[in-house]
Structure 1
């Protein structure tokens, strides 16, 4: 499945419609971003049930700022509208596959319990 260009206009709708979504924050001038792009594209082809989205941080600075992206490439993994992973750096293919396996295996009930407990502790 091809990757989806994400913008501030379609981001929320795309997240809402996806069980799992991986987002690559990138820019055309970024060497590591260009090296990671084929890895991301191959993973998109191998996992058609996952939405693979790309945010061009130059074209979508508001969207990048809303996620506090300060370094690119940054990869974000979202499952059930919950961010499970967000780290800068280009992953090699085996590490990306490992991340996808972990995202699929995540116990979302446990994740929600942990998020609720953290929110309560901050009050």
Structure 2
């Protein structure tokens, strides 16, 4: 599956689906973003079962604000509608593969239990 472009209208619907969604927040003027783009695109070819999506921070500034994007590129990983990773900085290919493996290996029942525990502790 090729990389898809997300907009304000399609973001929430896309990341809330079952499975893994990787989102690359980027901008045309960003050198590190341009260096990361082919790595991200290659990953979308190798792992077609994972949604690889991009958000142009210049065109969709409201998403940048909503998700607290202060540096680009920023990569987020969602699994079954839950954000499980959020980090600024371009990743080399092996690190992206390692991240995907970690997200695939998550016990989502355990993740949901920790979220529920955290929310109940917040009152």
TM range (shorter): over 0.9
Q: Deviation per CA, 1:37-79, whole angstroms, max 9, x where unpaired? A: 0000000000000000000000000011110111100000000
Task: Give the aligned partner of residue 109 of structure 1.
Answer: 109
Q: Secondary structure at the match of 2:68?
A: coil
Task: Point out where structure 1 has 5 or more consecutive residues left out of the alignment.
Answer: none
> What TM-score, normalized by structure 1, do the two folds share?
0.97
CA distance in 2, matches of 1:112, 1:69: 24
Q: Structure 1 residues 32-41 or 13-22, which shifts more?
A: 13-22
Q: Secondary structure at the match of 2:59?
A: coil
Contact 2:17 2:80 (C-alpha < 8 Å) held by counterparts: no
Runs of 4+ displaced beyond 4 Å: none
- The number of residues matched between the two structures is 123
> What TM-score, normalized by structure 2, do the two folds share?
0.97
Contact 2:17 2:81 (C-alpha < 8 Å) held by counterparts: no
Task: Give the aligned partner of residue 78 of structure 1.
Answer: 78
CA distance in 2, matches of 1:51, 1:21: 5
Task: Give the aligned partner of residue 40 of structure 1.
Answer: 40
Contact 2:44 2:52 (C-alpha < 8 Å) held by counterparts: yes
Contact 1:26 1:54 (C-alpha < 8 Å) held by counterparts: yes
CA distance in 1, matches of 2:17, 2:76: 16
Task: Point out where structure 2 has 5 or more consecutive residues left out of the alignment.
Answer: none
CA distance in 1, matches of 2:99, 2:4: 20
